[in-house]
Structure 1
Amino acid sequence: MTFVIRLKYFFEKYGFHVSSRLADKLGMRANSVRLFFIYISFVTAGLWFGVYLTLAFWIRLKDLVRAKRSSVFDL
């Protein structure tokens, strides 16, 4: 359990330091920079989920249009 706590402390110390340094360079608050990264991660994940749903719908539609027919009389 102490390894997990040390790992968490390491990421908090050096991970948040990146966003605070970036905020200092941009003249913003570090909290706003962190929220920006959180929002961007949700947007990009949602974008690819939307692409996945679109492709799944497209493949399903293709299968419905191009159904296999066993004979000419099934038209």
Structure 2
Amino acid sequence: MNGHKSTIMFQNIVTYFEKQSFGVCTYIAERFNMSISKIRLFFIYSSFLAVGFPIVFYIMAALILDVRHYVKRIRQRIWDM
């Protein structure tokens, strides 16, 4: 029974990162006016060369972008009142 809970939790984590994963590359590419595919390849190749450090950066950027979207939604709700 305990294995079932950990499987569900792992699936929830994977689903979250699948939804957020391309938002980081898209944001960076739009910000610097670059190709999204080049940014994605950069993260993939640099992850192999830098022993996973870009993955940590990527996860932190995904969380920060998620918080920014949350704050924007709250601001819109306040002004709608």
The TM-score range, normalised by the shorter chain, is: 0.3 to 0.5
TM-score for the superposition, normalised by structure 2: 0.45
Highest CA radius of gyration, 1 or 2? 1
Greater relative contact order (CA < 8 Å, ≥ 6 in sequence):
2
TM-score for the superposition, normalised by structure 1: 0.47
